[in-house]
Structure 1
Amino acid sequence: MSSDAMLSIGELAEHAGVTVKTVRFYSDRGLLPEAVRSVGGHRRYGPEALDRLRLIRSLRTLDLPVPDVGRILDQEDALEDVIAEQLRELGSRLAALRWQEAALHLLQDCTPEERAERLRLIGAMSAPPNTAALARFWRRWLPPRLPSRLVSAIIEQAVPQLPEGPTPAQALAFARLHAFVSAPCVGTDRGQPAAHRSDGGYRPAVLYDGLGEAYALASPELRAHRPPREGEALDCFVSAYARSCGMRDTPTFRHRLSAQLVADPRIDHYWQLTAEVSGPSEPTPGAAHDWLCAALEAQTVRSAD
């Protein structure tokens, strides 16, 4: 290559519309290799350096880190991977900012007395928030020795998906939900339903398999705002309890089960807050359970008349 075709660092900077300091920065990091050095030791660049420098500028305008720019320059197929990574990171940052905005509105639109509590709730969560504490709660609260695939399915249904753009009310509901599951003694074996205790003759794995099916059958009823009633969902619900303790579904069993479910400890606060976080479009397992319990109670009251 003739010396006439070479560009000095100043000429390259002028053609690209950047400073000499910028060209030197990229050169020192290996993104813009120099072709030769002059007799006086000055950098000289070939014509291809101008296109490469313009590409670097375009990539840096997208706020891509210098190492990622180097990957793109060195590997022909790296651009798509880098873009995908950046989009994921940007999505996470935007979600965090939306949660931060909702939290700020919570603090702005409240009384001084409410502000102290809200600051405490917000300060107890990670930024951005996540549902790890809720998953831990369910792993503690569920009966021991459930199959892992069943535990995973229950947690997937019970733990709400966090909205990317929460309203202040959703942010407050999740902060309260996080505080609830993080409270001492929540999720231990104290105060759990009778069916959790294998010493009572129950087989929890059989029960929870059946309950998942019953809740799925009840969900369309809740979406349609139908009152609790007899039908396939209730029969599946009762059958799950009967099979889990090796008994038959009889009127006597239904009466006894209804009384047991009324007396069982509940975690209504969890489900109320979960519904506030998720919104009204999808019934929670807790709402389905309540609907089925009400249907069973109504049936047993009618049969007793």
Structure 2
Amino acid sequence: MDSDTLYSIGELSRRTGLTVKTIRFYSDKGIVPPADRSPAGYRLYGLDALARLELARTLRDLGLDLATVRKVLDREASIPEVTEAHATALDVRIRTLRLRRAVLRAVARHAPTTMEMDLLRQLATLSRAEQRRLVSDFIDGVFEDHDINPEFVALMRSAVPELPDDPTPEQVEAWVELVGLCQNADFRDTLRRMAEDQAVEPSPQDIGALHSTLNRVMGERIDEAVSAGLLPASAKGEALSDSLGNLYAHAFERAGESDLRRWLLARLRTTTDPHAERYWQLLATINGWPASPALAPVHSWFTTAFATGDVAITKG
């Protein structure tokens, strides 16, 4: 057929497999404009209508809206441009659906409280930026008018919960609990005390790595002591707590100072606050970080050892 061949809607339907109703709809929307009309007034279409209909069907099957399809057909937008934009939009939609699926499964696992249900609803509808803002607003509120330790506040801001694109129900539950914890007045007070304590004490350059090492060594040694049935007041227990005391003393350059025992006890009480420890455990679950061992029993043992008054602290 030559370029002057014209097709009726019925002929286009037979050639494309689209219904007459669909082609008429596309024609009304300007997707496939008629090239002419028959003597009886029926719409007739040129050869390009076949190509336009095939492309329109493909783009619609991919989920593009009619306005975008028309822009492509009228050369107002390129196919790579609109498909990339649509793929990006689909990425957002897929993440949203995966999150909602995890929220539904979290609800199905147990009967949440009214507050938890409200947080789950928020989680299912908030953007990532809005999710982060819940925690950043909490930190702003905790340290408002408390310019006591900028480094500590910066640390808190750097460790934010980031749910993965396809979270598990456990991660969703951890997010809900963490946001609920951020609303706890006792936890807010704990964070302020921690910032105050660390603001007045000299700390090594890599405080995070140091604490990790100290906690690991403390855990290993105290586990050995507990397994052996040692008590802090026993001879071996005293030697153990002595070595741990020296480790802290050397690390914080506080050896030989008369108030070291009191300083250590105050520091341990702060760092073993159950709210603070739970916060970091939940953060690790949400972000998929390796699980940290529970430090409360370790620090409790260490605190008991120092509290007996039988532990000498000297430079190691």
For this structure pair, what is the TM-score category when the shorter chain's length is used for normalisation?
0.5 to 0.7
Pair 1:79–1:11, CA change in 2 (3 A): same
Q: In the alignment, does 2:200 pair up with 1:214? A: no
Q: Could you tell me how far apart the structure 2 residues matched to 1:279 and 1:34 are? A: 58
Q: Offset at 1:256?
A: 5.8
Between the aligned partners of 2:165 and 2:93, the Cα distance in structure 1 is: 10
- How many residue pairs get aligned? The number is 275
2:118 to 118, 123, 130: 123
Alignment check: 8 A CA contact 1:102 1:171 kept: yes
> Where do 5+ consecutive residues of structure 2 fail to align?
222-242
Give the conservation status (yes or no) of the 8 Å contact 1:214–1:236: no
The answer (yes or no) to whether the contact 2:174–2:285 under 8 Å persists in 1 is yes
CA contact (8 A) 2:215 2:295 kept: no
The verdict on how the C-alpha distance between 1:20 and 1:103 changes in structure 2, with shifts beyond 3 A counting, is same
The structure having more radius of gyration, on CA atoms, is 2
CA contact (8 A) 2:4 2:46 kept: no
- TM value normalised by structure 2: 0.64
Aligned partners of 1:102 and 1:168 also within 8 Å: yes
In structure 1, distance between residues paired with 2:103 and 2:64: 29
CA RMSD of aligned residues (A): 4.7
1:1-305 aligned at under 5 Å gives the runs 5-75=5-75, 78-110=78-110, 115-117=111-113, 120-125=115-120, 126=122, 127-128=124-125, 130-142=131-143, 144=146, 154-157=156-159, 159-183=160-184, 185=185, 190-194=189-193, 196=195, 202=199, 213-215=206-208, 238=252, 249-251=253-255, 252=257, 257-264=263-270, 266=273, 267-281=276-290, 303-304=313-314
Can you list the C-alpha shifts for 1:101-157, whole angstroms capped at 9, x where unaligned? 3333334444xxxx153x651333321453431222122234656999996774232
Q: In 2, Cα distance between the equivalents of 1:95 and 1:264?
A: 38
CA–CA separation in structure 2 for the residues paired with 1:216 and 1:154: 16
Distance across 1 between alignment mates of 2:75 and 2:172 = 43
Gaps of 5+ in 1: 239-248
Note closer, same or farther for the CA distance 1:151–1:22 as it changes in structure 2 (3 Å cut).
farther
Tell me if the contact between 2:3 and 2:46 (Cα under 8 Å) persists in the aligned partners. no
Identity %: 27
CA 1:180–1:202 in 2, change beyond 3 Å: closer, same or farther? closer
**3-state DSSP of counterpart to 1:93:** helix
Secondary structure of the 1:44 match is strand
Deviation at 1:87, TM superposition (A): 2.8
| Deviation at residue 303 of structure 1 after TM alignment | 2.8
- CA distance in 1 between partners of 2:46 and 2:102 (Å): 53
After TM superposition, the score normalised by the length of structure 1 is: 0.66
The amino acid of 1:47's aligned partner reads: L
